[in-house]
Amino acid sequence: MLRVAVQKRRGSFELDARFEMPTPGVVALFGRSGCGKSTLVEIIAGLLEADSGLVQLDDEVLLDTRRRLDVPPERRRIGYVFQDARLFPHLNVESNLRYAQKRAVGASFVSFESTIDLLGLAPLLARRTHQLSGGERQRVAIARALLTQPRLLLLDEPLASLDAAKSAELLPYLESLRDRLAIPMVYVSHDFEEVLRLATHIVLIERGLVVAQGGIGEMNLRQELRAIIGADAVGAIVDGQVLGIDAAGLTRVRVGFGELRLRAPGAAIGATLRIQILARDVIVASQAPQNLSVRNVLEATVGAVTDDDDEADLISLDIGATPILARITKAATRELSLRPGMPAWALIKAVSLRGRSFTSPAFPDA
């Protein structure tokens, strides 16, 4: 468990952040720019002194101002990846990494060779840092942080300085990092697409305060999140098991009591697939539909009917897993007489679904 409860005033800005999250996993600190995310991770790392508070990782207390306990940054065994890579310009890639390896404290859980393989750095080892692209520099920075053998990895908007193409290049490596290592990570971002792809938990921050926290599935249902990401991004995240490929070439995925079909090239049978279902893409039926072109029809039970705005309602639908949401007009809610507990059917076009492989963390060979 990562426990954080800290306060810090910087000029007119005041941070008062409290959250607890299980480890391992990827905790996303999410919120608008300037809400205090980077200040919070600097305090966790020990790079910024808190006015008061507590930071505890599993059984070890790293900061407790009441006891006047403040473990120095170099002894916290926390890896930190900044927005800019901050590599040594006078050293090549391998020398940058070997330097970090020599400074490692504690038991080794990932080897030099495993790190190179994980982040695809073998072709880059002899290069000087000025010869690297932005995405390559960030991969080296992540590898350098890993080779210090950290108990916790902090990533402070590692894609913020990259263009869309370089971000797309780096994201699969971050997913591999999440899936193949059992190291807890705190990932700072104001880009919800990154959070959807990487996080297992979300801590939502507004103006220096934690306003909501929880698993990524439940957080997608929270009004506090919807207020930031907007109505078009409202939806649910569900994890399902890949069953195979149908005759039309669509991937079949077991989700709750039903099955979804979507395009997910390369998804292996038995793998876990994370699927984003946007509320705007879900149609609700009060009777079992027939003879439709829609590939996905899920039996459900109406969980809640929530006022979204003057024209629309959000309908929570229990499909036997994480609830999904449908955003429909208030007129449709009245005409269908939707109410909690009644049976319903969720219709979703296959082309509207996005799936990402998401496997359970496992230690690599050290």
User: How confident is the model over 116-148, as pLDDT tens digits?
Assistant: 998 999 999 999 999 999 899 999 999 999 999
157, part of any domain: yes
User: Residue 363 has what pLDDT?
Assistant: 34
User: Could you tell me what percent of the chain has a pLDDT over 70?
Assistant: 97
Domain enclosing residue 303, as ranges: 235-357
Same-domain status, 106 and 120: yes
pLDDT on residue 359 = 53
CA dihedral 249, 284, 224, 163 (to 10 degrees): 30
Instruction: Classify residue 362: in a domain, yes or no.
Output: no
Task: Name the residue with higher pLDDT: 16 or 219.
Answer: 16
Residues 143 and 217 in one domain: yes
Query: Which of 169, 195, 229 is a domain's end point?
Result: 229
CATH code of the domain covering residue 271 = 2.40.50.100
**Rounded mean pLDDT, 74-87:** 88
The owner of tokens 């330097």 is 99
pLDDT of residue 191: 85
CB contact at 8 A, 239 and 274: yes
What's the confidence (pLDDT) of residue 271? 87
d(CA 158, CA 206): 21
Does residue 364 surpass a pLDDT of 60? no
With respect to residue 71, please indicate whether it lies within any of the assigned structural domains: yes
CB of 318 closer than 8 Å to CB of 221 = no
- Note the pLDDT of residue 287: 93
Residues 245 and 292 in one domain: yes
Percent of the chain clearing pLDDT 90 (strictly above): 56
Same domain assignment for residues 180 and 263: no
**Is 366 within a domain?**
no
Do 120 and 222 fall into the same domain?
yes
In a domain, 363, yes or no: no
Q: Is it the case that residue 358 has pLDDT exceeding 80?
A: no
Residue 336 within a domain: yes
Residues 6+ apart with CB under 8 A from 202: 27, 28, 30, 195, 212, 213, 214, 215, 216, 219, 225
Which CATH number characterizes residue 36's domain?
3.40.50.300
Of 229, 260, 287, the residue at which a domain comes to its end is 229
Domain count, the chain: 2
| Greatest mean pLDDT range, 194-198, 263-267, 323-327 | 323-327
What local confidence, expressed as pLDDT, does residue 190 receive? 85
Q: How far apart are CA 220 and CA 299, in angstroms?
A: 21
